[in-house]
Amino acid sequence: MSTEVDYYELLEVERTADDATIKASYRKLAMKFHPDRNAGCKDNEAKFKAVSEAYDCLKDPQKRAAYDRFGHAAFQQGGPGGFGGGQDFGGFSDIFESVFGEFMGGRGGGQRGPQRGADLRYDMEITLEDAFHGKAEEITVDVAGMCDACHGSGAKPGTSAKTCGTCAGHGKVRAQQGFFVVERTCPSCHGAGEVIADPCKSCRGEGRVEKTKTLTVNIPAGVDEGTRVRLTGEGEAGPRGAPAGDLYIFLHVKRHAIFQREGTTLFANAPISFTTAALGGAITIPGPDGERHEIKIPAGVQSGREVRQRGAGMPVLQGKGRGDLVVRIAVETPTKLTAKQRELLEEFRCTETGDECPQSQGFFQKVKKAVGG
């Protein structure tokens, strides 16, 4: 199982976005997360590398076409085309053929036999608390699985497939057309290289039947919106014993009543009384970890001020440490006062000199100058 964030999600664009939109979004994100602007911030450095990797793929039409069809599996060892990070890129021609071969007639020596089963997608919604702690979730999916009666061969139990007499087991046939030799999929075996004279009654020769499977998805702590969990071999079974595809779990984090999230940083808006803002104090906020975090409020704090609590945010996915909790202060003006409270405020107003609120004093001085005193 691996966790992979979708390239389009990383670049904050739709899958239908054109090249100009992708390039513009990449430039904005690269500038935001560039290490030179975020010295020592490992989280932003990781984001910069991730968006750069995503752009390197999506800016190339051939790589983007392969990614749209196979996802990250297109660039991993053992995936379609057989190449990935640090591997020999000579295998890209295999992916190019799998994407465009239908239109270009394929190439000689192509892969014979049934093709790998299709990859499947499953969308899962989780809470912010689930994303914080991680969890194991059981899911039920309907999928084409291997036929138990024939063990995926497609042939009636006790029999077996025979080598195709049309293509001699190659899966393709050639025809001379003038100076050219055209190669196409064998019409008798449809590229399998074998034919089944007596098909299995359970699967009608397909080697697979519809099944309902219950699977356990292990969600690691720190996942974010768009994170993708891959269950290898749990996708659609390949025909006639071919390898199964993968099942991709796309995670969607529910909106939280208190917190907004940006990477590993959590943001919360906290209204405080004007007396707490003037005199200072502390407020308590419960975090998604279940702990109660005490936030110190400095005296004289203004609305919009952000107070940061280090290490109280989300855990780093597949890493160590946690992000921060940032509390945005909103000073609330009282709307219901008792007679005693109003009396005390009137006494306070009578003692005001203007120095208590330097921003207000400075503003009105500018106004006087602007209108000539």
Domain topology for 259-335: HSP40/DNAj peptide-binding domain (2.60.260)
Detail the residues annotated as belonging to a binding site for Zn(2+).
147, 150, 164, 167, 186, 189, 200, 203
The domains spanning 117-149+204-254 and 259-335 adopt the same CATH topology: yes
Instruction: Lowest mean pLDDT of 112-121, 125-134, 256-265, name the range.
Output: 112-121
CATH number of the structural domain 117-149+204-254: 2.60.260.20
Provide the token pair at 164.
Answer: 């195709």
State residue 32 phi and psi, 5-degree precision.
Answer: -65, -40
Q: Of all helices (H) and strands (E), which one includes residue 285?
A: strand 281-286
Confidence of residue 178 (pLDDT cuts 50, 70, 90): low
Instruction: Lowest mean pLDDT of 65-79, 249-263, 277-291, 310-324, name the range.
Output: 65-79
208-227 mean pLDDT = 92
Placement of tokens 């200072």 in the chain: 280
Report the chain's mean pLDDT, rounded to a whole number: 82
User: Within a 13 Å sphere around the CA of 247, how many CA atoms are in the beta-carbon half?
Assistant: 22
Chain centroid, CA 82 distance in Å: 23
pLDDT tens across 36-70, in order?
777 777 788 888 888 888 888 888 887 888 888 77
Provide the token pair at 177.
Answer: 């057309």
Detail the residues annotated as belonging to a binding site.
147, 150, 164, 167, 186, 189, 200, 203
Instruction: Map out the domains of the chain as residue ranges.
Output: 117-149+204-254, 259-335, 345-373
Percent of the chain at pLDDT exceeding 90: 40
Q: 96 versus 242: which is more confidently predicted?
A: 242
Residues in the chain: 373
Placement of tokens 């000689």 in the chain: 108
Provide the token pair at 199.
Answer: 């098909």
Residue 74 CB partners (closer than 8 Å, separation 6+): 63, 66, 67, 80, 81, 95
SS3 assignment, position 315: strand
What pLDDT is stored for residue 363 in this prediction? 66
The yes-or-no verdict on residue 109 having pLDDT over 50 is: no
pLDDT tens across 303-353, in order?
999 999 999 999 998 888 999 999 999 999 988 999 999 999 999 989 988
C-alpha distance from residue 32 to each of 27, 35, 50, 52, 317 (Å): 9, 9, 13, 12, 20
